[in-house]
Chain A
Amino acid sequence: MINTKELTIKKTHEALKKGDFTVLELAETYLKNIEEKNKDINAYLEVFDDIKEQAEIAQKKFSDGTATILTGIPMAVKDNILIDGRKVGAASKILKNYVASYDATAISKLKKEGVVFLGRANMDEFAMGGSTENSAYGPTKNPYDLERVSGGSSGGSVAAVAMEGALVALGSDTGGSVRQPSSFCGTVGLKPTYGRVSRHGLMAMGSSLDQIGTIGKNVDDAEIVFKNILGKDIFDSTSQDAPENISTTKPKKIGVPFSFLKQGGIDESVLSNFNETVEKLKKEGYEIVDIDLPNNHYSLAVYYILMPAEVSSNMSRFDGVKYGEHKDGKNLLEDYMLTRGEGLGKEVRRRIILGTYVLSAGYYDAYYHKANKVRALIADDFRKAFEKVDVILTPTSPTPAFKIGEKSADPISMYLADIFTVTANLVGTPALSVPSGFTEKDGKKLPLGVQITAPHFREDALFDVGRSIEGRV
């Protein structure tokens, strides 16, 4: 009997190499966990039916000596990342029967390593949401408390890992969609530097913000998967490699925007846990520096202008002509109206309408253009802060996981959950959410997380500080 709770990628690799268990036995252990838990948690929209074939390919790599660290590792994949020949639908009705025509670059890299893809993970429709309640196939529940949300939008990927339904997972992060659910479910979630992982084959939401991210039970696992999917890609002109002369000095100074944390709206349990983490890092020998990010409080407003603007443009591809569902009307215009009206969910419709507004003549300057200028100011604040400190530390989310339905009637209260995470997407910096302890609500233990942000291409600094927070240095 394999105890998946004790497994890490490195331990699994050693065990597979020694033959303690086979790739198939490992995958079947996870499949059994999924069978037990998925009906309650709803992390997976589909479990693939060719696990045996995938496991055979991976096992062969062990027998012929070509196995690498990720060979045979069971992974969940968010439903907006394309795997050739498999269904993929962004948890939307409009892509109900859509089958991917090609592999995302991240997927083709992982296929070469012999990763075993267990299934596609639930999400907020087209990654629009922070709770996975916007899925057309029902919310993903929090494995720690089934009355609470898993967070989102990569709630399914994160819950799959948290419920021992996969060792690691891929998600996508446009405003915190890997990090916020990770903090809600006690996993490690990485949003890499913008462009460090190719977006080719990731369904676009906000193209200047989107990044594929990795999820694991610990920093090492998230790091290993990240290192196997990064790199410049001819299919994504915004992708890039790290500059060769990039510094790799160990981080020593941690900046904390204390004044930003005093603005209110942060749960008491989050604040006290955050302060404990700061104390712990001081004891580890880090220097804590109070930093000022004067334009940071505009981040959420800037994000909720630029993101819907990019959404309204990206979502125009769903026209019922080229692929996806089609609803028939009297003429082509009605075909479009009905296909999109019925196929796209409420939050997606809301963001498209909002984006259409901020881009329309007469409002473009006041909203979209101004937001771009403020985005540059926020980026400048970060550049200045990183002259003084090596990384920046904040909570990942202002609250622990909230109850299902608690925020769904009020979009703004839902959007406020992104207050600490959107900045990294606006600025393009890498950020990592690391579990920092638990709080108790209604008699249930709920995970909390802290977020580390580093300068562009300094994921190594995130992993260093992340390991200190894990206490495994």
Chain B
Amino acid sequence: MITVADIEKLSQLARIDVSDEEKASLAKEIEAILSYVAEIQKASADAPVKEDYLRNVFRGDVETHESGIFTEKLLAASPDREGQYFKVKKIL
């Protein structure tokens, strides 16, 4: 059972402000979706499954480009900046 309090907690974790009205409808919708997807519990997934198609891909930990050449372009897209920094409110 998904309650409005559960949605409250999840929205805090996900950093999304959700109205009280939406919390109530989300509780119902998430409950319905979860009861639909719960059918996977019936699948027998105990048998060993071949997963050799998954492998890690690495690259060398090296400089891929000259330092700083993209800085201005990327910082220009930020809502607020100070010099070479993104500007945010202080945390402590």
Contact = CB atoms under 8 A, between A and B. Distances in A.
Contact of A354 (B15, B30, B51, B73): B30
A439 B16 CA distance: 43
A288 interface: no
Contacts of A319: 15
Interface residues of A, number: 56
A304 to B, nearest CB: 5
Contacts of B22: 346, 349
Contacts of A349: 16, 18, 22, 26
B49 A380 contact: yes
Given A101-B70, A353-B10, A377 B16 contact: no
Contacts of B1: none
Interface in A351-377: 352-354, 356-357, 360, 366-367, 370-371, 373-374, 376-377
B10 A370 contact: no
Interface stretch (A114-122, A218-226, A333-341, A430-438): A333-341
A379 B16 CA distance: 35
A292 interface: no
Pick from B2, B18, B50, B91 the residue with the most CB of A within 10 Å: B18
Contacts of A350: 26, 29-30
Interface stretch (A23-31, A53-61, A295-303, A464-472): A295-303
Given A238-B57, A341-B16, A342-B17, A325 B32 contact: no
Contacts of A312: 14
A239 to B, nearest CB: 9
Q: What does DSSP make chain A's interface, helix, strand, loop or mixed?
A: helix
B26 to A, nearest CB: 6
Pick from B7, B11, B33 the residue with the most CB of A within 10 Å: B33
A428 B53 CA distance: 10
A324 B79 contact: yes
Contacts of B29: 350, 411
B57 A322 contact: no
Given A237-B58, A374-B43, A377-B45, 7 more contacts: A234-B59, A301-B39, A302-B37, A356-B13, A367-B37, A370-B40, A377-B49
Interface of B: 2, 6-7, 10-11, 13-18, 22, 26, 29-30, 32-34, 36-41, 43, 45, 47, 49-51, 53, 57-59, 70, 73-74, 77-80, 86, 88-91
7 contacts: A237-B58, A337-B15, A350-B29, A357-B10, A373-B43, A373-B45, A428-B53
